[in-house]
Amino acid sequence: MGRNHPTPDDEPRVVRFRRRGTGGPGLSAPSPVEGLAKYERGEGADDYRHRMLVNAAALAVVVLLMAVGLWLADTMAKIRKNEDCVFSGRRNCAPIEVNHSHR
């Protein structure tokens, strides 16, 4: 059956690893990564109005890009439809616009 009393081998152990190139405990090499302190801002440095204006401008650019993309996709679909008509051998494939105001 199983053992009910713990043995020294069953105790959890923590294995400490040393970094390469260090001389031992207490000696630490300089970090190759610079600190992030130069990117930190104070609490008063947040310009809410400017940030909202930049966000509004970004939104306008995204909406404009979406509108241009939709227009481009619609134009390409119309051109493909006309090309399919011409390549199938039909004539008068161009749409004819009729003005109904002349009676």
Q: What is d(CA 72, CA 95) in angstroms, rounded to the nearest whole number?
A: 19
Residue ranges making up the domain that contains 85? 47-92
Q: Establish if 69 belongs to a structural domain.
A: yes
The pLDDT value given to residue 55 = 97
Those residues whose C-beta lies under 8 Å from the C-beta of residue 103, and which sit 6 or more positions away, are none
Torsion of CA 49, 51, 56, 62, to 10 degrees: 180
Q: Establish if 16 belongs to a structural domain.
A: no
Q: Which two tokens stand for residue 80?
A: 């493909």
Model pTM above 0.75? no
The pLDDT value given to residue 52 = 95
pLDDT along the chain (103 residues), means of 10: 61 77 60 77 76 96 98 95 88 79 65
> What is the tally of structural domains in the chain?
1
Q: Establish if 68 belongs to a structural domain.
A: yes
Q: Which two tokens stand for residue 4?
A: 């009910």
